[in-house]
Amino acid sequence: MSAGGGKKAILAALTANAGIAVAKFIGAAITGSASMLAEAVHSVADTSNQGLLLYGQRAAAKDADELHQFGYGRNRYFYSFVVALVLFTLGSVYAIYEGIHKIQHPEELSQPIVAIVILGIAIGLETFSFITAVRESRPLKGNASWWRFIRNSRSPELPVVLLEDTGALIGLVLAFGAVGLTMITGDPIFDGIGTLAIGILLGVIAIVLIVEMKSLLIGEGATPEQDRAVRENLVDGAKITSVIHLKTEYLGPEEMLVAAKVAIAPNLDIAEIAEAIDAAEVRVRAAVPTARLIYLEPDLYRTQSV
């Protein structure tokens, strides 16, 4: 994912969520709906999260220096991890607490039709954000499933926005149903049940994000497809005969480190070995553009890998 593509989806989500948050708080104040208030807090969390993602992209763009010689690309992973924590604490925990409280102490809603109208508008705005994120993600997703894209993507922003928008849309439907059932039955306990369901939903999404972002932050290697492409392009069959061992790690969403020991055919002089190494680097970068840092160690010809 390019930073530009991710930024477009983030800005769409930020704009939508900021407007939705204001509308929901107004609706919650008028109606006294707990599910509406939980959704308002959820939207505040999402808006803050988009701000964090944008800041993470900016921080990651800093040039490498003596202290961080491989650059600052992992800032994007760090701030995406913070986003997951914010979603869990500010979104999920609050909604669960509020939902339990409203189930134990139900409160009548005033002018619930206002909540219905605001939730309908919010669904429209959130759908716009979701469609933007889907459109930006399709070129990267390819033929893979959406779940596989979220699990395997080394770029954090689009999976984060996709999961947030999915959770927001489902949460809005839950809030809509909770307020609707409260209007139909006259029993405000449904509002509390809806709030609790929203909190559980946000918790599940936050945990998925925490697990995925933690893995990226610690350091993930090439995808299976990229690993295979690197191995195939390191070997030319003449001067480089095999890959003895290979290690890869993403230093940031768009920069992968490749370190390998390769078996060199016998009877090559130093110039020929250097030429073979340089050619291998060119082939690998052409096949896997994110493989920007490549360190290859030539070794004597071997009949088996170690």
pLDDT at 110 over 70: yes
Give residue 3's pLDDT.
43
Give residue 5's pLDDT.
45
Query: How many Å apart are CA 242 and CA 220, to the nearest integer?
Result: 24
State which amino acid sits at residue 129: S
Cα 177-183-186 angle, rounded to 5 deg: 120
pTM: 0.79
Cα distances (angstroms) measured from residue 115 to each of 19, 32, 43, 54, 146: 15, 9, 15, 31, 32
Query: How many Å apart are CA 85 and CA 154, to the nearest integer?
Result: 19
pLDDT single digits (tens) 132-153: 889 888 888 888 888 888 888 8
Cα distances (angstroms) measured from residue 40 to each of 102, 118, 153: 16, 11, 30
88 in Cβ contact with 202 (< 8 Å): yes
Whole-number mean pLDDT of the chain?
87
pLDDT at 233 over 90: yes
Q: How confident is the model over 284-300, as a mean pLDDT? A: 93
State which amino acid sits at residue 121: I
pLDDT single digits (tens) 240-252: 999 999 999 999 8
Q: Exposed, middle or buried by CB within 10 Å (0-12, 13-18, 19+), for 270?
A: exposed
87 in Cβ contact with 230 (< 8 Å): no
